[in-house]
A and B are shown apart, each in its own frame.
Chain A
Amino acid sequence: MDTFFVTTSLLKILGILFLVILPMVSYAVYAERRVSAFMQDRLGPNRVGPAGLFQPVADVAKLLLKESFSPANVNTFYYWLAPCLALIPALITIAVVPFGSTLFGVPMVIADVNVGILYVFAVASLGVYGIVLAGWASNSKYPFLGGVRSSSQMISYELSLGLAVIPVFLVVGNLRLTSVVRYQIEHGWFIAPFIGDWTNIGKWLLTIPMFISFVVFMIAVFAETNRLPFDLPEAEQELAGGYHTEYAGMKFALFFLGEYAAMISGSALVVTLFFGGWHFPGIPDGAHGWVFGLINIALFFAKVAIVIFIFMWVRWTLPRFRFDQLMRLGWLFFFEIALVNIFVVAGIMAFLPT
């Protein structure tokens, strides 16, 4: 362990967490309110600061100053533990995602492990504990129903999530997320075969299963992050808020932030796997100067922001599924599609060397 590695890693962790992810989380909440307002022909929060840009600051101040209230019959230790467990896994999935090329020769990924995507799934699967514990520790029936719904939903959709990315790794031949980005720089994005060498027939053929893969993955991320149309665990109309019914103040805010952080890391994965990560045709990587390194990072987060906008767009457009519909969709439809998709990609790979 040399000090240079430790220092740069610490700087990357602190920089990405406090300068990018956490501000992004709080502004995602603001963006959600503005986007929903515009979609419903309202204005949304526009009083605090220019165009309401200081609204997140006001929100946080309000939540922090609220009384830290906990109901009488809760299981106190787990009641306090649950919000932390909901936020932390969502934040640490970012560790293996390459968010830029290089800056001053330092690769812009916190931990480039050779099982990258499995790490993401493992940590994301721990996120369910926060919600389940919140539902159980609240000692109340609506939160409990929310917790139970959440655990069955997350387990069901983890299968499609895992199976949907296998085609990507069949093509790349490696689970490292930096290799996925490198492959897409050399061969064009998985979702956009016209980038790079567009005369290759095999690449165009591969785009069809890749697009199916992308759709299945995207929908599974919706279910994993409990976003509408799959927000059954917190369905306001049926469960009065679901697992966080009994929470108030900053503890409630942690659940809220956890959901948005999960959405950001999910979007970051979508961008890395299907949209070429930090790459954009015509823009060189960080080896050509630190300005390009910064531009690469900005590009990555711009793409993430676009995917987050799609998340919000879907949320304020589609109605919620019923729980049995959600389960049937997951087990009888997406699971099979993802499975067949793997065989299709393997077949294309076997007969058409790309």
Chain B
Amino acid sequence: MPPLLFWIFALLMLVFGAAVVINRNPVASALSLVVSFLGLAALFMSLDAYFVGIIQVLVYAGAIMVLFLFIIMLLDLRAEKLRKINWLASAGGLLVALALLMQIFYVVGNLHAAQEKFPPLVGSTTDDVRNIGLLLFDNYNAPFQIVGILVLVATVGVVLLSKREVR
């Protein structure tokens, strides 16, 4: 993919990522997060990782954010809009974020591997989904099963918690 597209999508992601924090309207924040996810998905696809990109859209933008929006819209938003901005806390947050950014730049700048140029991507001849499936079920079968049991336990827990009392 041409670098121009990378810059467009990276900028899109960053701008809307900032908009998530800056917006006073929670619905606007949630929608900004959706656009940010779409930008991220586009970046994944630019690396030929179609499967990861599409799953990003399908799971995060398509399902989780819809649930978020669903909950937010049921709340009373006026209280959130009227709340005063705590400038001291905002400045502190900005400072911490800047410090973290400086650290990352410093560490990455001194890393030897970061100076090297990556070899060009080799187009895969087999299918994304097939490769991921083989990897999950062959190499990482045990962790995959454990995650499956964890998810099952969580599902049972959710059902139990949200169940109405039966008398």
Contacts and interface: CB of A to CB of B under 8 A. Distances in A.
A114 B70 contact: no
A155 B58 contact: no
B152 to A, nearest CB: 14
A78 interface: yes
A118 B62 contact: no
Interface string A26-41: 0000000000000000
Interface stretch (B13-21, B47-55, B93-101): B47-55
B61 A126 contact: yes
B129 A148 contact: no
A129 B55 contact: no
A82 to B, nearest CB: 11
A151 B127 contact: no
Contact of A144 (B51, B54, B73): B73
B80 interface: no
Contact of A122 (B62, B69, B70, B130): B62
A155 B127 contact: no
Given A115-B50, A144-B73, A151-B70, A129 B34 contact: yes
B66 interface: yes
Contact of A115 (B51, B66, B73): B51
A118 B66 contact: no
Interface in B6-53: 27, 31, 34, 50-51
A175 B129 contact: yes
A129 B34 CA distance: 10
B63 A158 contact: yes
Interface in B113-143: 127-130
A151 B66 contact: yes
Contacts of A132: 66, 69-70, 73
B155 to A, nearest CB: 13
Given A148-B70, A151-B70, A113 B62 contact: no
Interface centre among A121, A122, A152 (most CB of B within 10 A): A122
Interface string A75-118: 00010000000000000000000000000000000000111001
Contacts of B127: 114, 174-176
Is chain B's binding surface mostly helix, strand, loop or mixed? helix
B27 A155 contact: no
Interface string A112-151: 0111001101110110110011001000000010011001
Interface in A318-341: none
B73 A136 contact: yes
B62 to A, nearest CB: 3
A148 B61 CA distance: 17
A122 B50 contact: no
Given A118-B51, A119-B54, A152 B62 contact: no
Given A78-B27, A125-B62, A174-B127, A118 B67 contact: no
Contact of B70 (A126, A152, A174): A152
A115 B69 CA distance: 27
A118 B58 contact: yes
Contact of A155 (B55, B61, B63, B128): B63
A151 B67 CA distance: 8
Nearest to A136: B73
Contacts of B50: 113-115, 119
A49 B74 CA distance: 48
A129 B27 CA distance: 11
Contacts of A151: 66, 69-70
21 contacts: A113-B50, A114-B50, A115-B129, A118-B58, A122-B62, A123-B57, A125-B61, A125-B62, A126-B57, A129-B34, A129-B69, A132-B69, A133-B31, A136-B27, A136-B73, A144-B73, A147-B73, A148-B70, A158-B62, A174-B127, A175-B127
**Top 9 closest A-B pairs, CB basis?**
A125-B62, A122-B57, A122-B58, A118-B54, A115-B50, A136-B73, A115-B54, A122-B54, A151-B70
Given A132-B66, A133-B31, 9 more contacts: A113-B50, A122-B54, A125-B58, A129-B34, A132-B69, A155-B63, A155-B67, A158-B62, A175-B127
